[in-house]
């Protein structure tokens, strides 16, 4: 009688050994800025990527991880942050988390440059999400697009980036004026009850835009350009009949324009002008009897030559992390109320 052969014993898998690679940077000061106080920014990268990072000195960063792909991803993020510092941008926690979200080729620093808006004698901005980068590309593509839509939830940078780009064009004298227009009140243009001249009537509704311009240009340069008439506020109610030549025009809060207002303002473009239209269709304050002109314009102009449309989503939110979760909660609530039958 022959006994059955005992089953072969499986060999225990050898534990994978963590390997290290070194990355070197020429500018030690930039490296310190990229690492953050007490290596705080390196710790954020470690937690997100599952690697160990150390900066022993002399421009060296040591990356340790079992997985080679994790090491490659860490190199990509570090190179992107270093390249953004070369552009004169600052490194903060938001910039680090943005670099972790982006998906560049680590060997193509031009992709970083592609998402940068430089404002001479002012502040420069860099795209922090893939959606923002597509938007910045459209804004900078002067030969292909004269009308650029940026639509999506709050906190995605759609107005800030348009303002920064318009300011950069103005400072470089590529346009003669920066014109900012928007519906002045929730469901109409009721300006008469407010005290003061036109600017004083409209300014309360344009505080986010003025804040963005002040951040980009600085207060003194902003005030000088306002006094010179190079930066102009033009509520939509006062745009009728005008032709806007050699200007960069920003239509903000466009979801609160009626269809007639939207058609009117889009047809104000004159020689040498371009326009950015920003808004969030989900935040329309118009009555149901007065449908918004923004989704209508997006629909009929979707395939029009010279028009670019960037649709932002909650993944493009670059404010406080909680903002993205708030947007998601409201979107989920809207889906529940709409029901599956109407969503199809």
Q: Give the chain's mean pLDDT.
A: 84
In this predicted model, what pLDDT tens digit does every residue of 177-203 receive, in sequence order? 999 998 865 434 454 555 556 666 666
Q: What pLDDT is attached to residue 98? A: 82
- Token pair of 155, please? 């906190």
Element (H, E) at 279: strand 274-279
CB atoms within 10 A of CB 240: 11
Tell me phi and psi for residue 192, to 5 degrees.
-65, -30
Average pLDDT over residues 212-232: 91
- Cβ atoms of residues 222 and 231 within 8 Å: yes
**10 pLDDT exceeds 60?**
no
Q: What band does 343 get if pLDDT is binned at 50, 70 and 90?
A: very low
Q: What pLDDT is attached to residue 164? A: 93
**Cα 328–332–182 angle (5° rounding)?**
60
- Cβ atoms of residues 305 and 144 within 8 Å: no
Sign of CA dihedral 43, 49, 52, 57: negative
Average pLDDT over residues 59-85: 90
Most confident of 67-71, 111-115, 328-332: 67-71
More reliable by pLDDT, 86 or 183 = 183
Q: Which of the 8 DSSP states describes residue 317? A: -
Q: Give the whole-angstrom CA distance, residue 291 versus residue 37.
A: 51
Average pLDDT over residues 56-74: 91
CB atoms within 10 A of CB 187: 13
Q: What pLDDT is attached to residue 15? A: 52
By the 10 Å C-beta count (0-12 exposed, 13-18 middle, 19+ buried), 204 is classed as exposed
- Distance separating the N- and C-terminal Cα atoms of the chain: 70
**17 pLDDT exceeds 90?**
no
Q: What pLDDT is attached to residue 176? A: 97
Q: What band does 341 get if pLDDT is binned at 50, 70 and 90?
A: very low
Average pLDDT over residues 235-259: 92
Helix, strand, coil % over all residues of the chain, rounded to 5: 45, 15, 40
Give SS3 for 59: coil
More reliable by pLDDT, 303 or 102 = 303
- Token pair of 13, please? 């898998």
More reliable by pLDDT, 314 or 267 = 267
Looking from the CA of 60 toward its CB, the CA atoms found within 13 Å total 9
Q: Which of 341, 321, 334, 325 lies closest to 96 in space, CA to CA?
A: 321
Q: Which of 219, 217, 186 lies closest to 122 in space, CA to CA?
A: 217
Distances (CA, A) of 121 to 113, 221, 227: 18, 9, 18
Q: Give the whole-angstrom CA distance, residue 98 versus residue 8.
A: 51
**266 pLDDT exceeds 70?**
yes
Q: What pLDDT is attached to residue 167? A: 94
**46 pLDDT exceeds 80?**
yes
**9 pLDDT exceeds 60?**
no
Average pLDDT over residues 281-292: 87
In this predicted model, what pLDDT tens digit does every residue of 102-149 receive, in sequence order? 876 545 555 566 788 988 877 788 888 889 999 999 999 999 999 999
**293 pLDDT exceeds 50?**
yes
**2 pLDDT exceeds 80?**
no
Alpha helices in 218-289 (DSSP H): 219-227, 259-266
């Amino acid at each position: 009688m022959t006994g059955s052969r005992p089953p072969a014993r499986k060999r225990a898998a050898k534990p994978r050994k963590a390997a290290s690679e070194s990355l070197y940077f020429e500018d030690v000061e930039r490296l310190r800025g990229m690492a953050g106080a007490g290596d705080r920014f390196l710790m954020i990268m470690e937690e997100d990527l599952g690697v160990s990072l150390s900066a022993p000195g002399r421009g060296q960063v040591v990356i340790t991880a079992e997985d080679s792909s994790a090491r490659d991803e860490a190199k990509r993020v570090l190179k992107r942050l270093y390249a953004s510092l070369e552009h004169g941008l600052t490194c903060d926690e938001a910039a680090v988390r943005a670099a972790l979200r982006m998906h560049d080729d680590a060997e193509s620093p031009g992709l970083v440059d592609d998402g940068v808006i430089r404002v001479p004698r002012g502040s420069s901005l860099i795209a922090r999400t893939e959606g923002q980068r597509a938007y910045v590309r459209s804004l900078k593509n002067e030969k292909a697009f004269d009308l650029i839509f940026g639509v999506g939830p709050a906190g995605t940078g759609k107005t800030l980036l348009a303002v920064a780009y318009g300011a950069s064009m103005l400072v470089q004298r590529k346009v003669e004026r920066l014109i900012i227009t928007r519906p002045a009140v929730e469901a109409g243009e009721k300006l008469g009850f407010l005290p003061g001249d036109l600017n004083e009537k409209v300014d309360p509704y344009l505080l986010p835009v003025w804040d963005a311009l002040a951040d980009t240009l600085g207060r003194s340069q902003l005030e000088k350009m306002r006094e010179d008439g190079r930066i102009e506020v033009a509520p939509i109610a006062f745009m009728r009949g005008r032709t806007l030549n050699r200007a960069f025009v920003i239509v903000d809060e466009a979801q609160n324009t009626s269809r007639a207002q939207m058609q009117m303002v889009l047809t104000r473009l004159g020689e040498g002008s371009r326009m950015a239209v920003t808004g969030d269709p989900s935040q329309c304050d118009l009555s149901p009897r007065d449908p918004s002109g923004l989704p209508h314009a997006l629909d009929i102009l979707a395939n029009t030559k010279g028009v670019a449309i960037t649709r932002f989503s909650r993944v493009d939110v670059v404010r406080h992390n909680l903002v993205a979760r708030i947007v998601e909660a409201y979107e989920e609530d809207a889906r529940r109320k709409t029901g599956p039958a109407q969503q199809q």
